[in-house]
Amino acid sequence: MNYTLQPKTQQFLEQTQKMLIGGEWCEGKETFKTLNPANGEVLVDIPLASKSDVDDAVIAARKVFHEVWANFPPAQRSALLWKLSDLMERDKQILVELETLDNGKPLGKAEYDVTGAINHLRYYAGWATKIEGSTIPVNFPNTFAYTKREPLGVVGLIVPWNFPLMIAMWKLAPALACGNTVLLKPAEQTPLTALYLGKLIQEADFPAGVVNILTGPGSPTGEAITMHTDIDKVSFTGSTAVGRKIMEAAAKSNLKKVSLELGGKSPNVVFADADMENVMAGVHWSSFYNTGQECTLGSRLYVQQPIYEQVVENLSKSAEQLSIGAGLSNPDLGPMISEAQMNRVMEYMRLGKEEGAELITGGKRCEGDLANGYFLSPTIFTHQNNNLRIVKEEIFGPVVAVSSFKSIEDVIEKANDTEYGLAAAVWTKDIQKAFKYVNAVQAGTVWVNGYDYFDAAVPFGGYKASGMGKEMGKSAIELYTQEKSVWIGGLG
């Protein structure tokens, strides 16, 4: 692998890493290490934010919220967000490299994520000047009623490791556009792009304390945020299990508002009349994108009987052709994020066999040159039992469970037989069938003849145990503001 890092990336990695609290770069009393999952080597030491660091950040965020940010003219908020997006564009390759090193993902996929983050920021920079209320006709004489949308105050943003910068931006951009101040906690496995973003936020000249970046694990850092009584809202993306803890913490502390983007087990349904070329290109990526570490992964593939054998065979061939390697060599698939996550997925691979699913390809850790990293081969199981654990539980690895179906009624029942409801897809040339599925499937996003389209303008979020509240589009403006109803009397 001959890739040479940008000098600025190298420099950043050689610096002592500090977290951003109240506009100051601070060391932690303790530190933890972030690793390169391609080889298990330590990249850098990262400060571990304690409860008292979180307290300091909240004090700073509250002060600047009251004194400066809540009344900052919208056009100036917008200009700052645009300035930040331009700095991200300038340093795009550094962000790409840091994401690849820390998370393991291929450079090309990291670039896609960073571009997505920049676009997202620009979309909400535009919203900062367009957050409106309404006037409402009412039945009292001589009165006037209107609504206005106000920021919530101090908001905690807790993000996972699978799309570190992009998901941070799904939250940060609308939160700031709406006039909130924030504490951002990246996942402990992937803090680097958030810390680099902190440097750009300072360079853009945001008022000190508007954005605080607290690095550290779920406990104590995440818990200190969710339990804090002076944080007005927590916006969380991560597992359903931790999502439950976040709600519990909100209930036990100050009933802070909560929005949750959680796990998924998305049904991907292929009818026999679908365009086969289109299907194969789509299903290939929907089954293994980001090495399966994706909340919307099409991890349950249902194929109509007449073409079932053919799809399984084609998918298995294409899975075996995917290149696997360190992100810096820009393969199709990078490593799993950590040894723990790799072992968890391997346990599901073992379980699938034990439960009687048929292993078509994959099912093992990669060896040879890849033995030092956390690499798994793309894995296909076939089965005819929706109750298997590999079919019911989110695996979060490159594992797809494929089964056949007869009729649309049959497959709708199977698709909805899950606690999750994040996303779903259907492949068919028949518009009637497509609409029937779209209307019946219990999922927050449905793709027809495509997969994983995302755009800052289109709301995204889960039904059922996949979440609460929709991010993106106008929906995120509702997530980061509260509506005030105002009555004015005595006008007669």
Q: Known catalytic residues?
A: 261, 295
Query: What, of ligand NAP, Mg ion, none, does residue 171 touch, CB below 5 to 8 Å by kind?
Result: none
**Which helix (H) or strand (E) is 86 found in, with range?**
helix 74-90
Question: Looking up tokens 């902190």, which residue turns up?
Answer: 198
User: Is 189 a residue that touches Mg ion (CB under 5 A)?
Assistant: yes
**x/- track of binding to Mg ion for residues 81-120 (CB under 5 A):** ---------------------x------------------
Instruction: Provide the CB-side half-sphere exposure for 196 (13 A, CA).
Output: 28
User: Is 188 a residue that touches Mg ion (CB under 5 A)?
Assistant: no
Smallest separation, CB 257 to ligand NAP (Å): 15
Q: How many residues bind Mg ion (CB under 5 A)?
A: 4
Query: What, of Mg ion, ligand NAP, none, does residue 34 touch, CB below 5 to 8 Å by kind?
Result: Mg ion
Inter-residue contact 233 to 152 (CB < 8 Å) = yes
Question: Looking up tokens 């994983």, which residue turns up?
Answer: 452
End-to-end CA distance of the chain: 78
| Subset of residues 314 to 343 that bind Mg ion, contact rule: CB under 5 A | none
The tokens describing 325, both together, are 């390697």
**Which helix (H) or strand (E) is 242 found in, with range?**
helix 240-252
Inter-residue contact 486 to 147 (CB < 8 Å) = yes
CA distances from 472 to 7, 126, 161, 460 (A): 35, 13, 19, 6
Smallest separation, CB 67 to ligand NAP (Å): 28
Question: Which residue, 193 or 268, has its beta carbon nearer to Mg ion?
Answer: 193
Question: Which residue, 151 or 191, has its beta carbon nearer to Mg ion?
Answer: 191
C-alpha to C-alpha distance for 361 and 285, rounded to whole angstroms: 16
Smallest separation, CB 226 to ligand NAP (Å): 5
Q: Which range, of 1-9, 32-40, 291-299, 315-323, touches Mg ion by CB under 5 A?
A: 32-40
Q: How many helices (H) and strands (E) does the chain have?
A: 16, 22
Specify which residues 48 forms β-bridges with: 30
Question: Looking up tokens 């002060």, which residue turns up?
Answer: 63
Query: What, of ligand NAP, Mg ion, none, does residue 69 touch, CB below 5 to 8 Å by kind?
Result: none
Question: Which residue, 221 or 404, has its beta carbon nearer to ligand NAP?
Answer: 221
Alpha-carbon dihedral sign for residues 205, 207, 209, 211? negative
Q: Which range, of 8-16, 34-42, 127-135, 258-266, touches Mg ion by CB under 5 A?
A: 34-42
Q: Nearest to residue 47, comparing CAs of 69, 17, 71?
A: 17
Question: Which residue, 218 or 459, has its beta carbon nearer to ligand NAP?
Answer: 218
Q: Would you tell me which residues interact with ligand NAP (CB under 6 A)?
A: 158-162, 167, 185, 187-188, 217-219, 222-223, 226, 237-239, 242, 245-246, 261-264, 295, 394, 396, 422, 462, 467
Smallest separation, CB 82 to ligand NAP (Å): 25
Report the interface residues with Mg ion, using CB under 5 A. 34-35, 102, 189
